[in-house]
Amino acid sequence: MKRKTGFLAPVFYVGPAVLFLLVFQVYPALQTIRLSFMDRRSVNFVGLDNYKYVFTSQVMLRAFKNNLLWLVFFTAGTVGLGLLFAILVDRVKYESVAKSIIFMPMAISFVGAGVVWKFMYSYKPSGAEQIGLLNQILVVLGFEPKGWLLQSPLNNFALIAVGLWIWTGYCMVILSAAYKGIPRELLEAGQVDGANELELFWHVIIPEMKPALSVVITTMLVNVLKIFDIIYVMTNGNFGTEVIANRMFKEMFQFANTGRASAIAVVLFLIIIPIMYFNIRQKLKGEA
Amino acid sequence: MSWLRIKRKLPLIVVNIVVIIAMILWIVPTLGLLITSFRPASEVAYSGWWTVFSSPLRFTQFTIENYQNVLRTGGMATAFRNSFIITVGGTLIPVFLAALAAFGLSRLNFSGQGFFYALIVMMLVVPTQMTFVPVLKLYNRLSLSGTFVGLWLVHTGYGLPFAIFMLHSFFQSLPNDLFEAAHIDGASIWTTFVRLALPLSIPALASLVIFQFLFVWNDLLVALIYLGGHESVAPLTMRLSSLVGSHGQDWHVLTAAAFVSMIVPLIVFFSLQKYFVRGLLGGAVKG
């Protein structure tokens, strides 16, 4: 039985939060949709001009292409490595130490992680003493040092690697909890039936972990669509590394074009809706 | 006990090697940053940080000058204070309001309850990008851009949906009998909230506080949008990213500044990891 109340109690408890949501989410989201059909100063309506820009301009197409690259490699990488580590650390004696170390980058800012890796990628021309670890390794092995963040498309993969370093721990922690939750009898039954490891993996482990996997995958997809800090700090979208969220920031501040910025936001929103729908549905299911 | 252990086909040694390689890959970049931050500028520019291992006991090769530098002239001390102010308000206000709302939505009974809960869940879908332009226009009109209060309010608005979502499911899991008993004993709603709901949900609240704390402390984008170029109110992340722009190759400066920005989250993380993980498992990240 819940307590039946008058008018005042709900207003006192729920009112402040609803007010905040109206001011900081509902109103601005609707307003952004309206502004996306207006000019750079939000004065005149320009129809679909901003959307035409979003879907046809060279810079935006470049950003979409890079986001797609991120989408594939970042998501597959974080979830794949997260799953691998979740299963492997379960077997070692120093499990909690290993997990802490791999999870640690989640605690620091993306800006901090960006600096950490910009230093790892640091490049000096061949012949000079390298101060970046990766180029030093290349030189020691007899290769030429690389401008990791300067050459496209290498730089996109170098940036994605930073994303993997940050987010793999998150996937590992969630998947590890799900993995440990698989009833042992299921695995033993499969083994008694003569299934080998690979069969157990595909027919027992993966189906049992499906809810956790779908939460992790959808979370990574949304992350990747909104990826901003890493690129802002490490290349600021130069040398062919532009992404959608970074482009929107530039439209807002560098070019003061609220129409285009809003249109980019709306497109991002439309792509995110179905992914978040699955994500939330899964979580609500987990609650029930 | 794991499925791998049932059938020992994959030798334990391979597992150990893979895990140890992973640990090295995850720890070396941060270690390099830490070591470099203690090396003098002249050496940082011309030799790799790994060269310190050739004579690790020569303590004269280390210095704290870089830290003195970034704190005094690099503006990191002010930025540290700003981060602290922004994060405290940006954590406590949303968590408190979320607790109120989650309590109201799960423990009271009023018409429209389902609608408001659905509204909050729907807001989880909206990326913050959808709000930047109109909220910034509003802030410029109200002179809230470039202020701590403005940032507290906006972090509250952005943090609430996830916070309410998480606490709501926790409050719902509390036994009904307790609340009924309190009601029969004549406890007011406020008393049930403060004396019953809040104390019972300390683990959930702790997770949420840590989560929101790290989120706000590490935020760059929201600060960039609403603080403009105001260096006097800039948090560590903003200051660090502008140092990257102005001192791109001065690694002695950048590494020390980066470590200053990382020290608080690292302490929070390593001392309260249990709660942080629990928070993650209770829901996922919303940015």
CATH number at residue B256: 1.10.3720.10
B100 and B210 within one domain = yes
Q: Which residue of A has its CA nearest to B12?
A: A91
How many domains in chain B? Answer: 2
Q: Are residues B50 and B138 part of one domain? A: no
Inter-residue contact A190 to A99 (CB < 8 Å)? no
Same domain? For B150 and B50 the reply is no
Residue B176: per-residue pLDDT: 86
Instruction: Tell me the shortest Cα–Cα distance from B199 to chain A, in angstroms.
Output: 17
Q: Looking at the predicted structure, is the pLDDT value of residue B150 above 60? A: yes
What does chain B come to in residues?
287
- Considering the domain architecture, whether residues B85 and B129 belong to the same structural domain is answered as yes
Of A13, A102, A277, the CB nearest to B100: A13
- Compute CA distances B68 → B64, B65, B246, whole Å: 7, 5, 18
Band of pLDDT at residue A4, cut at 50, 70 and 90: low
Helices and strands: H and E segment counts in chain B:
15, 1
- Which amino acid is located at A189 in the chain? A
Question: Is the per-residue pLDDT at B7 higher than 70?
Answer: no
Chain A to chain B Cβ contacts (< 8 Å): 328
Specify the range with the lowest mean pLDDT, choosing from A96-105, B1-10, B81-90. Answer: B1-10
User: pLDDT digits over A8-17, tens only?
Assistant: 888 999 999 9
Q: Do A120 and B29 touch (CB under 8 A)?
A: yes
Q: Which CATH number fits domain A31-40+53-103+159-287: 3.40.50.2300, 3.40.50.720, 1.20.120.350, 1.10.3720.10?
A: 1.10.3720.10
Same domain, yes or no, for B19 and B153? no
Rounded to whole angstroms, how far apart are CA atoms A170 and A90? Answer: 16
Same domain assignment for residues B122 and B149: yes
Going from the C-alpha of A105 to that of each of B21, B42, B67, B270, B283, the distances in angstroms are: 16, 29, 22, 12, 19
Q: CB-CB: which of B157, B179, B237 is closest to A109?
A: B237
Cα B101 to Cα B105: distance, rounded to the nearest angstrom: 6
Tell whether A45 is within 8 A of chain B (Cβ).
no
Q: Do A262 and B244 touch (CB under 8 A)?
A: no
Chain B nearest-CA residue for A263: B130
Are B44 and B80 found together in one domain?
A: no
Contact B3 A262 (CB under 8 A): no
Residue of B nearest to A136 (CA): B48
CA gap A32, A263 in Å, rounded? 8
* Average pLDDT along chain A: 92
B134 and B224, same domain (yes or no): yes
> Does the pLDDT of residue B228 top 70, yes or no?
yes
What pTM did the predictor assign? 0.91
Alpha carbons A199 and A158: distance in angstroms, whole number:
35
Flag whether B287 is in a domain.
Answer: no
Does A273 contact B at CB distance below 8 Å?
Answer: yes
Interface of A with B in 187-246 (CB under 8 A): 187-188, 190-191, 196-197, 200-201, 204-205, 215-216, 219, 222-223, 225-226, 228-229, 232-233, 245
Nearest CA in chain A to B182: A3
Q: Does B4 map to a domain?
A: no
Closest Cα in chain B, distance from residue A17 (Å): 6
Question: Does the residue B187 lie in any domain?
Answer: yes
pLDDT band at B282 (very low <50, low <70, confident <90, very high): low
Query: Is residue B139 located within the same domain as residue B215?
Result: yes
Domain assignment of residue B164, given as a range: 73-282
Locate B164 and state its tokens.
């309410």
Does one domain contain both B116 and B232? yes
3-state DSSP assignment of residue A142: coil
Using CB atoms, pick whichever of A5, A32, A165 lies closest to residue B130: A32
Q: Is residue B268 part of a domain?
A: yes
Choosing among B1, B3, B36, B76, which should be mutated to test the A contact, i.e. which has the most A CBs within 10 A?
Answer: B3
- How confident is the model at residue A288, as a pLDDT? 45
Same domain, B89 and B180: yes
Q: Taking CB atoms and an 8 Å cutoff, what residues of chain A touch B246? A: none
Any idea where the domains of chain A sit in the sequence?
31-40+53-103+159-287
Closest-CA residue of chain A to B113: A10
Tens digits of residue pLDDT in A74-88? 999 999 999 999 999
Is the per-residue pLDDT at B165 higher than 70?
Answer: yes
- Give dist(CA B236, CA B81) in Å, integer: 9
Which residues have CB under 8 Å from A34's CB, separation 6+? none
In a domain, B203, yes or no: yes
The alpha carbon dihedral of A54, A55, A61, A66 has a sign of positive
- Residue B1 counted as domain residue: no
B131 and B39 share one domain = no
A9 CB neighbours in chain B (<8 A) are 104, 108, 110, 189
Q: Are B109 and B174 in contact (CB under 8 A)?
A: no
Tens of pLDDT, residues A114-158: 999 999 999 988 888 899 999 999 999 999 999 999 998 899 999
Q: A150 to chain B nearest CA, in Å? A: 14
For residue A102, give how far its alpha carbon lies from the nearest alpha carbon of chain B (Å): 6
Strand partners, B109: A4
Which pair of structure tokens corresponds to residue A251? 């439209």
